[in-house]
Structure 1
Amino acid sequence: MRNSPSNTLLSVPSGGLQISEFPPPQLITDKTKIYFSLIIPTYKERENIVRLVKVLSELLEEVIPDDYELIVVDDDSPDRTWEVAQSMMAEYPNLRVMRRQQERGLSSAVIRGWQVARGSVLGVIDGDLQHPPEVLAQLLRSIEQGADLAVASRHIDGGGVSRWSAVRRFLSRGAQVLGLIFLPGVLGRVSDPMSGYFMVRRRCIAGVTLNPVGYKILLEVIARGNVAEIAEVGYVFCERKQGESKVTWKQYVEYLHHLLRLRLTTTQVGQKFSFPIGRFLRFGLVGLSGVFVDMAILYLLSDPSTLALPLTRSKIIAGEIAIFNNFLWNDAWTFADVAMQQQEWHHRAKRFLKFNLVCLAGLLINVLVLNLVFNFVIPNRYIANLIAIAVATIWNFWVNLKLSWRVTDVK
């Protein structure tokens, strides 16, 4: 292992949140370049930090022996997490520690850590053991295979959450939908834009002034960085065993603030993701079949020559049957590759519920766009209706693609 020069704390960088293309000369302790720098932002993680450093060091010594560094960036924890980490530096020479007393916040802590890092690949992992360390090997492999950014995702094959409440799941999904509306070119590039577990090539964010709000630094990296190829690795978000959760309503407010700031200050948003045309065409054909199903059921239920039920009741039943028809076809055809990974009845039931909710929102969007276009743009009800249908169809497809047909549970 490299010999650590001392067990002194790192100086906290000042000034703007900008990463240099190369490490500052005073940080290079020998001629050998470090490949990987992993930042561990902490606050009141005294009960977790010892085990985390031990596990990470053992894993990285196997994968990239003596070619890494761990940097704990602590926000002056009242339980003196930084002091515990500092006491471990003699045993783990690749460990470095920073104590921040004037600044606060996870995102800025990560960037300050990156500013003093010596690696050509920069990463971040939570300090609470909710991010499984063993996924690091797969993320590193993705970088070695050419990716600029490797993200640990809860929303692809092999990923999930262990025991989240329904409220937390709802808030997480709602936040992602808002992100897709505000920043489709950013959130549309990855399946889990809320992830705080990833690594990026230094050159992709070098020279860029980062301006994060709250916890979601990945959004900042994708939106402002020069990131071409992105790879994703599935992981299961584990429940915290020690310490206390930092998730509060404040983080959701900060997330909204961050979305608005990125929307207003980035010019490349929307240009860095590909739209799945083939899947969208299949989705459109399925939607067309739903129109015929809706019309046929409406006729059978409401026509005076058949059951003659009230029109409103007939329309609700017909609409729901059409939605069910569309769900079955989408599940078996449009999104078959995803559906095959989760075929149990409760998985299908959850997808159907999400599909229903997304379609209901799409109906509201349809009505809203219809009225806006008809009253303010084109005073032709039929053209306005076609535009409204097109907007609602794109909404239904994109949100269902990102939320309904996705692997989110594990056994």
Structure 2
Amino acid sequence: MKTNSSNSLLAVPTGPLKISELPPNNVGTSGESIHLSLVIPTYKERDNIQNVVSILSQLLDESIPGNYELIVVDDDSPDRTWEIAQSLTTEYPQLRVMRREQERGLSSAVIRGWQAATGSVLGVIDGDLQHPPEVLMQLLRSVEQGADLAVASRHVEGGGVSSWSVVRRLLSRGAQLLGLVILPGVLGRVSDPMSGYFMVRRSAIANATLNPVGYKILLEVIGRGKVDEVAEVGYVFCERKEGESKVTWKQYIDYIHHLVRLRLTGGNKKQKLTQQTGFPIGRFIRFGLVGLSGVFVDMTILYLLSDPTTLAWPLTRSKIMAGEIAILNNFLWNDAWTFADVSARQQEWHQRLKRFLKFNAICLAGLVLNVLVLNLVFNFLIPNRYIANFIAIAVATIWNFWINLKLSWRVTEVK
């Protein structure tokens, strides 16, 4: 068992943001590694920190007594959060505190905490109780059962958000959509790549030079680590009870910067494509069959509206109406068949309406993509309009399926 022998602050590691394969030897009294090191990055969390430490300590003392450590890494909060945390070390011997005065940022705070950690499993949890502590042991069990990375997700069974505004939901969806476009091999591996609540084996990120921007440390872990098996555990993201939210526009700018940096530097290129994407073939086949039914509906409606022997509407107006009816047809079939397991848990009319609106927007974007690919292939690669059109349809179909899978049919709202 490793305990904190004094209430002195941890020295802040310097140099590259790299996790050693073996834990540091100069920490603790026994020189032995422990099982779990959980980092709690904080900034202006004076009102929350004692409650967080108390709840986590009680939970872990019951499950893995003496075989864990809590590491509070505070970015020199003006409310002196670090000082409150330091005063708790006598009561909670597994607690260690680091005060950073030169560096700033949640991602780097987490890594600096991991650099000082002695655990074989490294984790992170927010210091504001928006991450429910009771999920902690489910994450740890997932790692103990073989996962290299266990992520608490808002978008799997048992997950959701409690009371987000429409604007925040749109920003979250838009951020994930952008990530899927820029970096599908990273964001496609988990349902909630924006999560800041997870555990990872030390060996999975050891010796990788991490280079995060902003808050989304999980992107860096997946993109640069040696992560083979990923597990996800549902959790409900709760609104904070004390303190103020730190979500700002700068975080979204940092997120885009981070995506581009990972895209350009390549991350860990040794990961297999099947591991990166986890492409669900069965769903895709069902999605494709539904798409074929949509083609039949589109052609039928177009004929009924535009043919001189029927209503004789103008072609453009007829096509728009036929396309919308085909999209509605596809949505209803996908909702009832392709993604039935998800839609069964979100059956209220406003939830279906939101799924339909997202599906519609994604399909319209797919139409634009279809036209662009058609022109690019026909003009620069294969001067055959039918082959070019087939390729364009294939690309648009994959786009529609993948983005809808990640954004339209997922559990996002709970009471």
TM-score w.r.t. length of structure 2? 0.96
Alpha carbons 2:331, 2:356 under 8 Å: kept: yes
State the alpha-carbon separation in 1 of the partners of residues 178 and 271 from structure 2.
15
State the alpha-carbon separation in 1 of the partners of residues 314 and 271 from structure 2.
48
SS of equivalent to 2:47: helix
State the alpha-carbon separation in 1 of the partners of residues 70 and 92 from structure 2.
9
CA deviation string 1:339-396 (max 9, x = no partner): 2222222222211111111101101111111222222222322222211111111100
Q: Where does structure 1 lack aligned partners over 5 or more consecutive residues?
A: none
Paired AA for residue 247 in structure 2: V
State the alpha-carbon separation in 1 of the partners of residues 341 and 18 from structure 2.
41
Paired AA for residue 370 in structure 1: L
Taking the TM superposition and a 5 Å limit, the aligned residue runs for 1:57-76 are 57-76=57-76
Paired AA for residue 121 in structure 1: V
Is 1:287 the counterpart of 2:287 in the alignment? Answer: no
Alpha carbons 1:186, 1:270 under 8 Å: kept: no
Following superposition, the deviation at residue 32 of structure 1 comes to 4.8
Alpha carbons 2:130, 2:238 under 8 Å: kept: yes
Alpha carbons 2:3, 2:66 under 8 Å: kept: no
CA deviation string 1:214-259 (max 9, x = no partner): 1011011011111111110011111122112111111111111111
Taking the TM superposition and a 5 Å limit, the aligned residue runs for 1:247-286 are 247-266=247-266, 267-268=269-270, 271=273, 272-273=275-276, 274-286=278-290
State the alpha-carbon separation in 2 of the partners of residues 255 and 388 from structure 1.
30
State the alpha-carbon separation in 2 of the partners of residues 291 and 246 from structure 1.
47
Give the equivalent residue in structure 1 for 2:385: 381
SS of equivalent to 1:41: strand
Paired AA for residue 383 in structure 1: I
Alpha carbons 1:37, 1:70 under 8 Å: kept: yes
SS of equivalent to 2:44: coil
Identity of aligned residues (%): 78
Give the equivalent residue in structure 2 for 1:410: 414
Paired AA for residue 164 in structure 1: W
Give the equivalent residue in structure 2 for 1:55: 55
Q: Where does structure 2 lack aligned partners over 5 or more consecutive residues?
A: none
Give the equivalent residue in structure 2 for 1:164: 164
User: Across the two proteins, how many residue pairs are aligned to each other?
Assistant: 411
Q: Greater shift after overlay, 150-159 or 376-385?
A: 376-385
Give the equivalent residue in structure 2 for 1:317: 321
Is 1:367 the counterpart of 2:371 in the alignment? Answer: yes
Alpha carbons 1:184, 1:270 under 8 Å: kept: no
Paired AA for residue 192 in structure 1: D
TM-score w.r.t. length of structure 1? 0.97
Is 1:346 the counterpart of 2:350 in the alignment? Answer: yes
Give the equivalent residue in structure 2 for 1:96: 96
State the alpha-carbon separation in 2 of the partners of residues 372 and 229 from structure 1.
37
Taking the TM superposition and a 5 Å limit, the aligned residue runs for 1:295-334 are 295-334=299-338
State the alpha-carbon separation in 1 of the partners of residues 31 and 262 from structure 2.
39
Paired AA for residue 245 in structure 2: S
SS of equivalent to 1:26: coil
State the alpha-carbon separation in 2 of the partners of residues 57 and 131 from structure 1.
15
Alpha carbons 2:2, 2:28 under 8 Å: kept: no
Give the equivalent residue in structure 2 for 1:236: 236
Give the equivalent residue in structure 2 for 1:38: 38
Following superposition, the deviation at residue 161 of structure 1 comes to 0.9
Is 1:142 the counterpart of 2:121 in the alignment? Answer: no
State the alpha-carbon separation in 2 of the partners of residues 235 and 205 from structure 1.
24
State the alpha-carbon separation in 2 of the partners of residues 302 and 3 from structure 1.
79
Give the equivalent residue in structure 2 for 1:197: 197
Aligned-residue CA RMSD in angstroms?
1.3
State the alpha-carbon separation in 1 of the partners of residues 271 and 23 from structure 2.
29
Give the equivalent residue in structure 2 for 1:187: 187
Alpha carbons 2:5, 2:28 under 8 Å: kept: no
